[in-house]
Structure 1
Amino acid sequence: MNRYDVVVLGAGAAGMMCAAEAGKRGRRVLVLDHADAPGEKIRISGGGRCNFTNIHAAPANFMSQNPSFCISALRRYTAADFVAMIERHGIAYHEKTLGQLFCDGSAMQIVTLLRDEMERHGAALRLGIRIDAIDKADTGFTLMVDGEEIACEALVVATGGRSIPKMGATGLGYEIATRFGMRLVEPRPGLVPLRLDPAMLERLQPIVGVTVEAATTSGKIRFDEGMLFTHRGLSGPSILQISSYWREGEEITIAMAPHTDVFDSLRSARERNGRQALQTALATVLPKRLAQVVIEAHPGPITLAECSDKILRQIDTAVNRWCFKPAGSEGYRTAEVTVGGVDTRDLDSRSMAAKGVPGLYFIGEVVDVTGWLGGYNFQWAWSSGWCAGQAA
């Protein structure tokens, strides 16, 4: 039987970070993953350049049943700490909008960094494996891995969520949590495009590919970012952001010209040139094709002079208070993250240790902590992985 101090399940961002940190403490570490290569979600993230953190990362950028749970980890290992490691490895990076940091080169630089850190501190990595069983022992755990028995004092679950199953995502982490009596917050797709019903899709077909800066609202949550009309519904940053908060059957409200008083703009245009077509005037506020779709949905007067204030207000509402119920989301197939997961009530916020199961830890996406789009989920991986690495 092979014995290790720490076995980490999952060679993603959180798992490799934890392994490197535990190795620094002199712990004998083994990382196991069923994939053929480590860090696959890192590799594809950010269009292949990896949005590895956000300089504004703070607890307010994360959702959880317990919003305060992430505070300790994010304060103990910050975005600045990870940036310092990036710089030590000589990786060039740049800031995009809203504090998002990307590699100048390939996202594989981040994977290489993590592998180098693990190797430097003695953490072993085994890929393409199958876990047949996990059992609690008197002092730690025993695992059956491809027919081989492995023992460890500490077991760290960094298996991620169910998002992007074609990359091998599974619900293993949730199964392990349930196996050891831990509670789950129901997992669901997050940061995912939303679908529209067939009738609405048919009406919006002429504007597939059109983008606008939009404000999307669900309940009290609002995001102001880009929105894209697609063949199946809506996507773009503002939609992906709100999707993590939206629940089936709820309405969302979209402002497609959030910084413009459309009624006032159209009324002013009417005063200047009443003979101007309503659609032409609206096209000064919205993309031309979108303006056409909005007007076609509200047939009536053609010129501004023929439009009463009531009609102009109806157009304003159609543009900046578009309320509807999405038909659903695109699901785990395209979701960037999984919302929900291991209930934080059962975890210690400083170490990520399971309160009722000595030696068991959960980190990263498998935990009920989900960040906004823009590097926040990677920062949670680094922070939670670091914390477990100090304790496991």
Structure 2
Amino acid sequence: MPTSTHFDVLILGAGAAGLMCAFEAGRRGRTVAVLDHAERAGKKILISGGGRCNFTNLNTRPENFLSENPHFAKSALSRFTPEDMIALVEKHNIRYHEKTLGQLFCDRSAQEIVALLERECNEAGVRILTGTTIESVTKSEAQHFAVATSRGLFTSDSLVVATGGLSIPKMGATGLGYEIARQFGLNIIPTRPGLVPFTLSTDDLQNWADLSGLSAEVIAADSTKKPRATFREKMLITHRGLSGPAILQISSYWNPGDPIQLDLAPNQQVFSHLLAPTARRDTTAATNALRSILPARMAERWVALNSPERWTNSALESLEATLHAWPLRPAGTEGYAKAEVTAGGVDTCELDAKTMQSRKLPGLYFIGEVVDVTGWLGGYNFQWAWASAVSAAQSA
């Protein structure tokens, strides 16, 4: 390879956003190269959705995303919709299905999505250079970006940062994108693990850890913010705390030290029949009632921990209320190692919502997870990757 290689567009990161942006820019006649330190493209795509890649969600709306600016994502999401992604998937004859709540998965393997992206890049003349370590990024006096790498020096008119976030470091996640943003004077919204399991305190673990593996449908709610975020999905007890879709969803809204609330019996009155004058009122009766909703051992444990001293009408009503708004204070989270995504990131105030271009430095773009736009669980983050990538590609 020559000492210096010039492209119209250089993209840092060969993940979902980077590859989508690459071939969309290539289709416009731009010369494009994608650089990534990993040994192959799309590594995180391959492990997504249990290996089947939840590539979009039919119900995608701006309201499904967290950001300091909740309106920022609207422009990109309107430019490239779930229907657009479905058309691309169908173009490549990839079979897919809706699992639940609008979530679309490949029937076979996530490898099909990676192959789609690589094929489109190849047809658009994009060069994908994996195993390439980024050593420095500068802006030259000639107005070109210069990227020094383990393969030599690359220059470009436009630089697109699609390096992802800090989640799943064992897959090679780094903070490179944030470092580049800071280098060029862009503000960063503090990052945190998103869509991540909770850990519990030692006391709570003593009560629940031995029930690891049990799950139940709950409504998980953030108890401090208004309007409240609520998610009705499965909760899973783990040996370290709580997981499952409902917990992952609410974790993105959680701040350390805050409690969450769990409705363990959504839309059901569990103990009301015990108010009858002739009804048996004790721990056994309450446990039997709750067993119709929760796994038996979970029901037994919950009643044992929450039984009133006296089984009066008001005590039963209070027990019912607690069942539907059970306060729990997580000790923390499993961190970036188990987080699906990174919340926070490049401040959207620094970017043009239509093009994803830096307002301070023309030609510099940020797309995908590195930006302060974080989707719910269920294909929303992939849709943001596709949409933000297409927006940047139409300008870069």
TM-score of the superposition, structure 2-length normalised?
0.95
* Identity among equivalent pairs (%): 51
* Residue 191 of structure 2: aligned partner: 187
Q: Is the 8 A contact 1:8 1:155 kept in 2?
A: yes
Q: Give 1:35-46 correspondences, 5 Å limit.
A: 35-46=38-49
Is 1:294 the equivalent of 2:298?
Answer: no
* Residue 9 of structure 2: aligned partner: 6
* Residue 58 of structure 1: aligned partner: 61
Change (3 A) 1:300 1:34: same
Q: Is the 8 A contact 2:186 2:346 kept in 1?
A: yes
Give the one of 360, 373, 377 matched to 1:373. Answer: 377
Q: Give 1:1-392 correspondences, 5 Å limit.
A: 1-137=4-140, 138-146=142-150, 148-218=152-222, 219=225, 220-267=228-275, 271=278, 277-299=285-307, 307-392=311-396
* Superimposed CA distance per residue, residues 329-385 of structure 1 (whole angstroms, 9 cap, x where no aligned partner): 110000000000000001001110001101100000000000000000000000000
Task: Give me the whole-angstrom Cα distance separating, in 2, the residues matched to 1:287 and 1:104.
Answer: 31
Shift of 1:5: 0.4
| Gap runs ≥5 in structure 1 | none
* Superimposed CA distance per residue, residues 185-216 of structure 1 (whole angstroms, 9 cap, x where no aligned partner): 00100000001001111111342211111011
Task: Give me the whole-angstrom Cα distance separating, in 2, the residues matched to 1:46 and 1:18.
Answer: 22
Q: Secondary structure at 2:71's aligned position in 1?
A: coil
Change (3 A) 1:214 1:314: same
Q: Is the 8 A contact 1:52 1:101 kept in 2?
A: yes
Task: Give me the whole-angstrom Cα distance separating, in 2, the residues matched to 1:134 and 1:34.
Answer: 15
Q: Secondary structure at 2:394's aligned position in 1?
A: helix
What CA RMSD, in Å, does the superposition of the two structures yield over aligned residues? 1.5
Q: Is the 8 A contact 1:196 1:328 kept in 2?
A: yes
Q: Is the 8 A contact 2:265 2:293 kept in 1?
A: yes
Shift of 1:307: 2.8
Change (3 A) 1:374 1:33: same
Change (3 A) 1:110 1:372: same
Shift of 1:87: 0.3
Q: Secondary structure at 2:336's aligned position in 1?
A: helix
Shift of 1:153: 0.4
Q: Is the 8 A contact 1:132 1:147 kept in 2?
A: no
Amino acid at match of 2:371: V
Q: Secondary structure at 1:353's aligned position in 2?
A: coil
Task: Give me the whole-angstrom Cα distance separating, in 2, the residues matched to 1:360 and 1:274.
Answer: 68
Q: Secondary structure at 2:154's aligned position in 1?
A: strand
Change (3 A) 1:49 1:364: same
TM-score of the superposition, structure 1-length normalised?
0.95
* Superimposed CA distance per residue, residues 141-190 of structure 1 (whole angstroms, 9 cap, x where no aligned partner): 01111161111000000000000000000000000000000000001000
Amino acid at match of 2:285: A
Task: Give me the whole-angstrom Cα distance separating, in 2, the residues matched to 1:68 and 1:281.
Answer: 45
Shift of 1:318: 3.6
Q: Is the 8 A contact 1:266 1:281 kept in 2?
A: no
Q: Secondary structure at 2:39's aligned position in 1?
A: coil
